[in-house]
Structure 1
Amino acid sequence: MRAILLGILSSAFFSATFIINRIMNVSGTSWAWTASFRFLFALPILFFIVLFRKNLRPLWVEMRKNPLAWIGYGTIAGVGFYSLLSYAAVFSPAWLVAGTWQITILAGLLLSPLFFITLETKSEVKRVRGKMPLRSLLVALFILTGVICMQLTEAGDITVSQFLSGFLPVVIAAFLYPFGNRKMMEVVAGRLDTFQRVLGMAIGSLPVSIILAIYGWTTTGIPTSGQMMQGFLLALCSGVIATMTFFFATDLAKNNLSLLGAVEATQAGTMVFTVLGEIVFLNGSWPVGLSLIGMIIIMIGMIANSILNRSVPVSKLKKTA
C-alpha cells in the first residue's frame, strides 16, 4: 500500500512537467532548454542530498564498475525520455501530452517478460522470467479507458500533424522511462538507495543534457532569468521530488511484477493533477461530460489498484541478487 501511495504522490509532482512545459513554451523557451534544465538544475540538488547522507563513495564505486550502463540507461530513463516529452509539448496541448503519457501504464506491464524476478521456495532461490500480470493489465486497460474519455472531448480541435507530433514521441518516451528504470534496478541490484540511483542516472544523462543545452542556445539564445526560474521549479518538482518518490516506490515493488505494474499505473494520476493544475495556475476550465467521466474512471482505477495490491507483503519480498 505504501508503494501505491508514493506512486500517486509522485504523479502529483510529475504533473508539473506538463504545466511548466506549457508555460515555458508560451514564453518562447526552446524544448531543448526545457529538457536539459530538468537535469542540469536537478544535479546539484541531488549531489548535496547524497553528500549530506555520506553516500557518494558507494555510488562512485558502482558507476566505475559499469559506466556504460549508467550513461546508457541513465540517459534512456533520464533526459532521453524527457526530451521527447518536451519536444511533443511544442506541437500539442498539455492535455494531449499528459494523456498520451498514460501509455506508460501499459508499457511497464508489456515490458515485464524482458526482466527477471527472484522467487524463494522452501528448497531454493531461483530467478525466473517475469510474466504480464493479468489482474494489473485489466486495471491498466480500465484506467486507459478513462484517459481516452478525457481526450475525446478535445480531440476534434487539433490537426493530424499536431496529433502525430504530440503522440509518437510520447509513446516512445512511455516505454523508455520504465525500461531504463528497471534496467538500472537490475544493474545496482539493491546495493544503492534511491537517492544514489537518481543522482547516478542524472550524471549519466549529463552528456546529452549538455548537448541539448548547446542546441537550445544556438536556436533561441540564453534563457531569461524568468525562464531559468521556471526551469529550476521544473527540476525541483519533476526531476527531484517526483523522480525520487517514484523510484523509491518501484524499489519497494521491484520483486513483485503485479505490484510494480500497479505502482507504474499510478502515473495515470498525472492526467488528473495536470487538469487540476491548469485550472489553478492557467485559468483552465473544469472538465465536463466525457472529460469528467474519464477523470472519475481514472480515480476509480487507481483506487482499485491500491485495493488489489494492498495485501502484498513488500517487506518480505526477497531482493534481487
Structure 2
Amino acid sequence: LIAGTFQLTVVAGMLCAPLLYRDARRRIPRAALVCGLLAFGGVLLMQAAQAGGRLDREAWIALGCVAVSAFAYPLGNRGLLLHLERAGIELDATQRVFGLSLASLPLWLPVVAYAQVEAGAPPLRQVALAGGVALGAGIVATVLFFRATGLVRRDPVALAAAEAMQAAEILFATLISAAWLGEAWPRGIAALGAGVVVLAILLFSALVARREAPRD
C-alpha cells in the first residue's frame, strides 16, 4: 500500500509544473497526464488485490507522509534543475543527488534523534536491509533517474515520461517478491493492473517517440 501510494509521483511532477516554471513548460501536457494517470490507475488495481482490513491511525499517518513525499521528490528534482539552469551551473546526476541528500539532513537528524528516544537503535538485520535499499534505490536508481531527467529537462513530455517510468518499480517489486520471497504471482485484478502499467509505459514511449520523429 505504501509502495502504491508513492506512485503518485508519476503525475506529481506534471501537476507541480505551474508552480515552478514561467515559460512554456508550466503547461501541463494533457496526453502525458492521461498516460500518467493510467499508470497510477494500474498501480491502484495491483494494490486493490492486496486490500484487506481497515487502516488504523498510524497507517493513515504513514500514507499521508508517503503522499507528501511523492510530491516532494519530483518537486525537489525539478526545482534544483531549474535553479541550476537559471544560475548557469552544470552539475551531474551524482552531484545533484549528493546536494539534495545534504540539504535534507536538517530534517533527518531530528527524526533520527526522535526514533532513538522512542524505539532505540535498530537491530543489525534491519540496518543491513535498510542499507541495501539505500544502495539500490537511494543511490543507483536515483542517480540513473536524475541522469535521465537531466537529459530531458527542457521537454515537459519527455520529462514526465522519465518520471512515469517509476511506476515500473511496483512491477519489479511484485515479480521479485513472487520469485524470491514465495509470494503469490499476480492474478486477476493484480495481473490486469500490471498490464495497465505496462500499457501506460508503452504509450508514454510512443508519445515521446512521435514528438521526436522528424517532420517532413
TM over 0.5: yes
**1:240 paired residue number:** 139
Q: Deviation at 1:269?
A: 0.6
**1:175 paired residue number:** 71
**1:152 paired residue number:** 48
Matched, 1:97 2:2: yes
- The one of 111, 117, 141 equivalent to 2:16 is 111
**2:98 paired residue number:** 199
One-letter amino acid of the structure 2 residue matched with residue 130 of structure 1: R
Q: Deviation at 1:158?
A: 2.5
**1:309 paired residue number:** 208
Q: Deviation at 1:166?
A: 4.3
Give structure 1 stretches of 5+ with no counterpart.
Answer: 1-95, 118-126, 314-321
Give structure 2 stretches of 5+ with no counterpart.
Answer: none
Is contact 1:259-1:312 (8 Å) kept? no
Is contact 2:25-2:155 (8 Å) kept? no
Identity %: 32
TM-score, L = length of structure 1: 0.60
CA distance in 1, matches of 2:91, 2:199: 35
TM-score, L = length of structure 2: 0.88
CA distance in 2, matches of 1:208, 1:146: 33
Alpha-carbon RMSD: 1.9
Matched, 1:270 2:179: no
CA distance in 2, matches of 1:207, 1:110: 27
**1:293 paired residue number:** 192
Runs (4 or more) in structure 1 with deviation over 6 Å come to none
Is contact 1:114-1:129 (8 Å) kept? no
**1:57 paired residue number:** none
CA distance in 2, matches of 1:222, 1:171: 27
**2:60 paired residue number:** 164
**1:284 paired residue number:** 183
Count, aligned residues: 208
One-letter amino acid of the structure 2 residue matched with residue 221 of structure 1: G
CA distance in 2, matches of 1:213, 1:198: 20
